[in-house]
Structure 1
Amino acid sequence: MTTRRHPHRLLPVALALGLLGACTLPPAAAAATKLPAPLLDAPPTSTHGEQVAVFAGGCFWGVQAVFEHVRGVRRTWAGYSGGSAASAHYDRVSEGDTGHAESVKVLFDPAQVSYGQLLQVFFSVATDPTELDRQGPDSGTQYRSVIFYATPEQQRIAGAYLAQLGRARVYAAPIVTQLVPLRAFYPAEGWHQDYASQHPDDPYIAINDAPKLASLRQWFPALYTR
């Protein structure tokens, strides 16, 4: 069962905050912490190009918003990964039984930002990797935390970083983020794309995702871009 919101049923921000309680932090903000950089990363390159990374870490609105503000990211898409094309539709995915996870496709320039740096941002800012089949206020397998690796190199780097974080015991609970091959990515419906930047006053965005952007700006000033 999911607590997912509908975009046309919006409460005023003040009312939404009141319902949560004046001193209640959004779950993602409460769990966020800047993590160490990966010990294993792609070698530096001065050659500009384009590579693809796909991450799932809860509602794709917030994950997309984070990566849209990372230097070297050329474009992002909200969408679905993990299931079939036939079920890659919001109404079906929201039922939680399609195998899809709400995901974000990131097109980045490896000469400006490395895959390891994207992983560091993902785990520090965009997701809580200890939450199983949920993220913050949203529950269901469609909100699980996943790294969909596109190449063997991405698999090695992501696997090593998961092991590194596990050894460092940076979380009080076990990391449940999945590491699986990218089979396909299906862009979500148009109204989902760039939702956070287009609807900054949506209470869901203000409460759950604005703190993520604040953390990105504070912890990664060299990577943050408007």
Structure 2
Amino acid sequence: MFVIAVLLLVGTGLTVNSETHSLTYIYTALSKPVGLPGIREFTAMGLLDGRMIDYFDSEHQVKVPRQEWMRERLPADYWERGTQSRKRKQQRFKVNIGILMERMRQSDSDLHVLQWMHGCEGQTQPDGTLRFVPGMKMYAYDGDDFLSFDDKHGVWVAATPEAEPTKKKWDGIQVLREYTKGYLENECIIWLSKFLNYEQQQLKTARMYEI
């Protein structure tokens, strides 16, 4: 279900003028390199209304803009901080795949995939601001749902018995639950609003030069 949801999200993005907008980040890590063209051991991408706005992978090791307005509006230190953040997440994913393989008694000879998707949706209000709608933070392992965050109740939900140890550990860390809820409901919406504004400003500028 997780992989299908990701494909739908990327392939059927909302339009800029729709009432509801979304900001989503998707991370995919493989347990080992596969040696196939275009398949990276680790990838991370940001999506605004389903359109890719930034990208990072384990081969190039740099977070780069995928929209011109991202390149123009965001300073160099934003991309440098983003690159370092992606590198840390890459290492974290590698450790976590190892933990899950050991927990499930899986062989190193097989390929395993850990995915993480998080983000928020905002509904446009009459005054132009965005009202937080559902947030999402979920993990999948080998294509199946593994763990997700229940934003309403501020707890983690295990989709499989193997996820129970992680749920128990993370539910016990109050600062993690508060940070996750705060990010989804506040910080994510702030960035969503900012990116939408940048994109819309570029569209207005482009229309000025239309004949």
Scaled by the length of structure 1, the TM-score of the pair is 0.27
Give 1 or 2: higher helix fraction. 2
Structure showing greater relative contact order (alpha-carbon pairs closer than 8 Å, 6 or more residues apart): 1
Q: From the two aligned structures, give the one with the greater strand fraction.
A: 2
The TM-score with structure 2 as length reference comes to 0.29
User: Considering only CA atoms, is the larger Rg found in Structure 1 or Structure 2?
Assistant: 2
